[in-house]
Structure formats: structure tokens, C-alpha cells
């Protein structure tokens, strides 16, 4: 015979503490638990990135895939990946009062890196 492992139904006992809550309290509890569940993922996303993510950001900033790839490689070479490739381009644009595209093209041409590095507290 084929034996099946049947889980004991304990829903009633496990959910007893929720019976007295109103719909509004249940919604609040749901969102609190959801936040607890998702918070580690959000924290991870805030502190970790990948070349693929950074290229995607640069594409949305108006760079071609070849330009984005080159920018990300240069950001990695300058050890600024933790700052975000898009942010690096944005910072140079602010420093030199340029539009985003021009700033990115300057970085591709190896111009402006010293100012960006200095902005982030590195050697200029």
C-alpha cells in the first residue's frame, strides 16, 4: 500500500489569536508581516548591484548597450561600482554642469574620472 504523509490540520489552533481582530486590524497585521518578510530583500537590493543591473539603468538613461557596457566596465575599473554607474554619470553631470549623455560620453573617453573619484572621497 501507498502510505501518504498527511499533515494534521491545526489551522484553528494556530489562527486562534487572530479571531478577535477586526478587518482593519487584520489588514494592519498582514502589512506588518509583509514588511518584515520583504525588508531583508530591500536591504540587499540597496547594498548590492550587478553589472547587468547597472547596464540596465544606463540604458534607461539614454545610453546604447555598447556605451552602457563600456561605462560599467570603467566604473568597475575605477572601483566605483558600489556607488552605481548611473550615479557616477549623474555626479559628473552635476560637477561639470552637463547633460547626462555628455557626462557619460566624457567618462567613456576617460575624462572626468578624477573629479568623480574626488567627489566620492577618493584620491583625485
The domains located in the chain, with CATH, are 51-119 (1.10.8.1000)
pLDDT for the residue numbered 38: 92
Q: Is the pLDDT confidence value at 3 over 70? A: no
Rounded distance, CA 34 to CA 32, Å? 5
For residue 48, give the DSSP letter: -
pTM here is: 0.66
Q: Are 100 and 93 in contact (CB under 8 A)?
A: yes
Q: Is the pLDDT confidence value at 124 over 50? A: no
Average pLDDT over residues 44-52: 84
Amino acid at each position: 500500500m501507498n502510505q501518504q504523509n498527511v499533515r494534521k490540520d491545526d489551522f484553528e489552533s494556530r489562527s486562534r489569536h487572530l479571531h478577535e481582530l477586526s478587518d482593519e486590524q487584520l489588514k494592519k497585521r498582514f502589512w506588518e508581516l509583509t514588511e518584515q518578510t520583504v525588508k531583508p530583500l530591500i536591504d540587499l537590493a540597496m547594498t548590492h548591484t550587478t553589472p547587468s543591473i547597472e547596464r540596465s539603468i544606463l540604458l534607461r538613461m539614454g545610453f546604447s548597450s555598447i556605451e552602457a557596457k563600456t561605462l560599467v566596465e570603467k566604473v568597475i575599473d575605477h572601483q566605483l561600482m558600489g556607488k552605481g554607474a548611473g550615479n557616477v554619470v549623474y555626479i559628473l553631470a552635476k560637477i561639470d554642469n552637463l547633460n547626462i549623455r555628455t557626462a557619460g560620453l566624457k567618462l567613456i573617453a576617460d575624462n572626468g574620472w578624477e573629479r568623480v573619484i574626488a567627489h566620492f572621497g577618493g584620491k583625485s
